[in-house]
Amino acid sequence: MTIRQTRFTLAALAGLALLGACGSGDAPAAPEASETATVLDNGMTVTEVVDARQTHLKAVGKAFKTISDNLKAGEPDMAAIQAAAASVPTETADMGYWFPEGSGPASGVKTDALPAIWENKADLDSKIADFQAAAATLASTAEAGDIAAISEAFNATGATCKSCHETYRADD
């Protein structure tokens, strides 16, 4: 869903760049663009895929910080917690498509995704499923509004982030 929106936006930008280039005579296409412009099985370039997953993960990181800050606050802002918790399943609904073959560091695109992802796809998928289940529970628990239960669901979800990062993300 969201990954397609990103693709559309980036494709529109690329189209604009091409239009701009039309006026500049017969200059050949920049050769350095070809490597990262390789189109993957999902129809996106490596750069688009990596940008999309990093953008979604940044948003998830921000939502997690909001929840964490509020859980530590004397008077937590329940509406802020609920909105942040609800955003996580939305941001990550298509996480199963974020790591297509060819979108690792060997592509030349800067990414913290480790090559181990593509050697253990079944394990990655099971970590994604664990995370998505925990995030769904966190969202529904936040909706119910009990701080102690939210705190527990938050920690359980955080453990699934950590479990994936330990194995599949660089610098962690």
> Which residues make up the interface to ligand HEC (CB under 6 A)?
50, 53-54, 57-58, 60-61, 64, 111-113, 124, 127-128, 131, 157, 160-161, 164-165, 168-169
CB of residue 18 to ligand HEC, shortest distance in Å? 26
d(C-alpha 45, C-alpha 1), whole Å:
17
Task: Name the residue among 53, 35, 62 with its Cα closest to residue 95.
Answer: 53
The residue (of 21 and 101) whose beta carbon lies closer to ligand HEC is 101
CB of residue 160 to ligand HEC, shortest distance in Å? 5
The residue (of 76 and 105) whose beta carbon lies closer to ligand HEC is 105
The residue (of 45 and 131) whose beta carbon lies closer to ligand HEC is 131
* Beta-bridge partners for 45: 39
CB of residue 23 to ligand HEC, shortest distance in Å? 35
d(C-alpha 46, C-alpha 109), whole Å:
7
The residue (of 4 and 165) whose beta carbon lies closer to ligand HEC is 165
CB of residue 90 to ligand HEC, shortest distance in Å? 13
The residue (of 44 and 64) whose beta carbon lies closer to ligand HEC is 64
CB of residue 59 to ligand HEC, shortest distance in Å? 9
